[in-house]
Amino acid sequence: MGKFGMLQGKRLCFLVTLIVCLWWTLQLKGADGQLTDPSEVEALDDIRNSLTDPSGSLRVWDRGDPCTSNWTGVLCFNTSLDDGYLHVRELLLLNMNLSGTLSPEIGRLSHLQILDFMWNNIIGTIPKEIGNIKTLQLLLLNGNQLTGSLPEEIGFLPNLDRIQIDQNFISGSIPTSFANLIKAKHFHMNNNSLSGQIPPVLSTLPFLVHLLLDNNNLSGYLPPELAQMPQLKILQLDNNSFDGTTIPASFGNMSHLVKLSLRNCGLTGPIPNLSKISNLTYLDLSFNQLNGSIPPDKLSDNITTIDLSYNRLTGSIPSSFSYLPRLQKL
């Protein structure tokens, strides 16, 4: 009886272990048995191995399947595609104290829409392989320590809505290929070391709303063509060196402009007639060598700030400045 009971006990124990094991395996596979595309799993592995993770933000990245085991920052499409696999839709690794580099294998996340590494300490360059992710909509790398230049491959992303690389150490010029980003609304590239001229061909971008390039090392002249951008609302170019060139008269034709900031850019010549820009709210042309008199025409009723200080302007303040109802700072 004792011996028989012990044997039964052992069998039961074995059976229970087996069931626990099976249950665990099923859990890992996900309730419906769906799995992440193996090449994306490999890519995520490589991405993690290139990063340094002192705070252990990615410690769950060795448990189970990325899409079904709640991996930190990995968001997937909730159903599989025709290939039978789940795919990563968003990689959201912002503010995780990550350092190390960005693996070129990021380019294998072929269905990705959002790539977000904002506010970490990542070094190295922006992998050109990001240009392979044709589905990418948001490229958010601001607030890191990235170096090297902008890969021209990124200019061929047909769905890119926004590129944010501000607050890094990116150098080199703005690739002319960026003129192909026909869906782009936001270029946030301020606070880097970009150099060379602003490519005039960027003026063909039909939906660009924000062009932020302040605090770089850009030079050459300001392309008059930029005024042709039909949707531009914010143009910030402070702290660059367009030394000895003028503000194109065409800038007075940027009908949707809300903010124009060209502080400390080495600009000379006259202030253009900006009276036609009906929503202009913020105008800063200070710390240049602008000369001549201030245009007499009345600026937008919406204007709150006009800073023309530290220039070589002559004549008096136009009387039209007395009739600006929202002016707070002159």
Question: How far apart are the C-alpha atoms of 183 and 170, rounded to whole Å?
Answer: 23
For 134-149, b/e burial (b = at least 16 CB within 10 A) is ebbbbbbbbbbebbeb
> Which residues are CB-neighbours of 34 under 8 A, at least 6 positions away?
67, 68, 80, 84, 85, 86
Tokens of 189: 């590239």
Min dist. Cβ of residue 2 to ligand NAG (A): 45
Which residue from 103, 144, 164, 191 is in contact with ligand NAG, where contact means CB under 6 A? Answer: 191
From the list 18-26, 39-47, 153-161, 250-258, the region that binds ligand NAG by CB under 6 A is 250-258
Closest to ligand NAG by CB, 101 vs 273, is 273
Closest to ligand NAG by CB, 128 vs 256, is 256
Indicate whether 177 belongs to the interface with ligand NAG (CB under 6 A): no
Which residue from 190, 240, 286, 288 is in contact with ligand NAG, where contact means CB under 6 A? Answer: 190
- Among residues 202, 191, 147, the alpha carbon closest in space to that of 172 is found at 147
Which residue from 37, 90, 116, 238 is in contact with ligand NAG, where contact means CB under 6 A? Answer: 238
Indicate whether 65 belongs to the interface with ligand NAG (CB under 6 A): no
Indicate whether 110 belongs to the interface with ligand NAG (CB under 6 A): no
Q: What 3-state DSSP class applies to 106?
A: helix
Min dist. Cβ of residue 9 to ligand NAG (A): 35
Tokens of 190: 């301020």
Q: What residues does 91 pair with on adjacent strands?
A: 74, 115
Q: Count the Cβ atoms, other than its own, within 10 Å of residue 166.
A: 21
From the list 25-33, 37-45, 274-282, 303-311, the region that binds ligand NAG by CB under 6 A is 274-282
Report the chain's terminal Cα–Cα distance, integer Å.
100
Indicate whether 97 belongs to the interface with ligand NAG (CB under 6 A): yes
Measured over the CA atoms of residue 323, residue 324, residue 326 and residue 330, the dihedral's sign is negative
**Contact predicate 92/69, CB 8 Å:** no
**Contacts with ligand NAG, 297-316, as mask; x by CB under 6 A:** x---xx--------------
Closest to ligand NAG by CB, 103 vs 264, is 264
Q: What is the size of the binding site for ligand NAG (CB under 6 A)?
A: 35
> Which residues are CB-neighbours of 141 under 8 A, at least 6 positions away?
115, 117, 118, 122, 126, 164, 165, 168
Which residue from 29, 256, 259, 298 is in contact with ligand NAG, where contact means CB under 6 A? Answer: 256
Indicate whether 70 belongs to the interface with ligand NAG (CB under 6 A): yes
Question: How far apart are the C-alpha atoms of 197 and 217, rounded to whole Å?
Answer: 9
Indicate whether 255 belongs to the interface with ligand NAG (CB under 6 A): yes
Which residue from 107, 266, 292, 318 is in contact with ligand NAG, where contact means CB under 6 A? Answer: 292
Q: Which residues bind ligand NAG (CB under 6 A)?
A: 54-55, 70, 72, 78, 97, 99, 190-191, 193, 214-215, 217, 238-239, 249-250, 253, 255-256, 258, 263-264, 268-269, 273, 275-276, 278-279, 291-292, 297, 301-302
